[in-house]
Amino acid sequence: MLLKKRTESKELVVLRYLNTRMELAAKDKFNLANLEKGYRGEIEFDRVTENLSEERYIIDDLLLQLNNSYFQIDKVIISAGAIHLLDVKYHEGDYYLESDKLYSVKSGREFKNPVIQLKRSETLFRQLLQNLKFNYLVQASVVFNNPEFTLYQAPMDLPIILPTQINRFLRELNDTPSKMDESHRLLAQKLLSLHQDKNPFTNLPEYNYEQLEKGMYCKACGSFNTVIKNYDLVCGKCGKQERIDQAILRFIQEIKVLFPEIKITTQIIYEWCQAKISKKTITRALKKNYVSTGRTCDTYYE
What single string gives the DSSP state of each residue in 99-164? TTEEEETTT--EE--HHHHHHHHHHHHHHHHHHTT----EEEEEEE--TTEEEES--TTS-EE-GG
First-to-last C-alpha distance (Å) of the chain: 34
Rounded to two decimals, the pTM is: 0.90
162-184: pLDDT as tens digits: 999 999 999 999 988 888 899 99
If pLDDT is split at 50, 70 and 90, which confidence band does 298 have? Answer: confident
Per-residue pLDDT at 105 = 96
pLDDT at 126: 97
- Cα torsion 153, 155, 158, 164: sign: positive
CA angle 230–236–241, rounded 5-degree value: 50
Helical (H) or strand (E) element with 20? helix 10-21
DSSP 294: S
Using CA of residue 289, residue 232, residue 11, residue 258, what is the dihedral sign?
negative
Close Cβ partners of 14 (under 8 Å, ≥ 6 residues apart)? 204, 257, 258
Rounded Cα distance, 115 and 101, in Å:
10
Quote the percentage of the chain above a pLDDT of 70.
99
Angle between helices 10-21 and 26-49 (to 10 degrees): 130
pLDDT of 50: 86
Residues 234 and 226 sit within 8 Å (Cβ to Cβ): yes
Q: Which helix (H) or strand (E) holds 285?
A: helix 279-289
Q: What are phi and psi of 70, to 5 degrees?
A: -95, 145
pLDDT band at 116 (very low <50, low <70, confident <90, very high): very high
Q: pLDDT (tens digit, 9 = 90+) per residue, 225-252?
A: 999 998 999 999 999 999 999 999 999 9
Crossing angle of helices 244-258 and 10-21, rounded to 10°? 110
pLDDT digits (tens, 9 = 90+) for 200-219: 888 899 999 999 999 999 99
pLDDT of residue 204: 93
pLDDT for the residue numbered 81: 87
Mean pLDDT of the chain: 94
Torsion angle, alpha carbons of 113, 158, 6, 216, to 10: 30
- In residues, how long is the chain? 302
